[in-house]
């Protein structure tokens, strides 16, 4: 399991086994606290945010 905090504010933390699961767990927080990030991601799936999120998750996965 990967333990990860919000990459934009660090105020919440979740544990998940996969990137997809982590995204699903983080979504409620992002809709509430970072809606601008989510809105941009929906129109631009290859956004810089998704790249940062994936890189952060993969780095934590490698540390296990």
pLDDT of residue 49: 85
Write out the residue range of the structural domain in which residue 49 sits.
Answer: 2-63
Query: Are the C-beta atoms of residues 2 and 54 closer than 8 Å to each other?
Result: no
pLDDT of residue 36: 83
Could you report the per-residue pLDDT of 12-60, keeping only the tens digit for each?
999 999 999 999 999 999 999 998 887 776 666 667 888 999 999 999 9
Residue 18 CA to residue 25 CA, distance in Å, equals 11
The total number of structural domains in the chain stands at: 1
pLDDT of residue 43: 66
Tokens of 35: 């809606």
pLDDT of residue 10: 97
């Amino acid at each position: 399991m990967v333990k990860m905090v919000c990459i934009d504010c660090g105020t919440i933390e979740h544990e998940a086994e996969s990137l997809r699961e982590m995204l699903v767990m983080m979504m409620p927080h992002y809709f509430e606290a970072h809606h601008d990030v989510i809105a941009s991601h929906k129109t631009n799936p290859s956004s810089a945010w998704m790249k940062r999120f994936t890189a952060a998750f993969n780095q934590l996965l490698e540390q296990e």
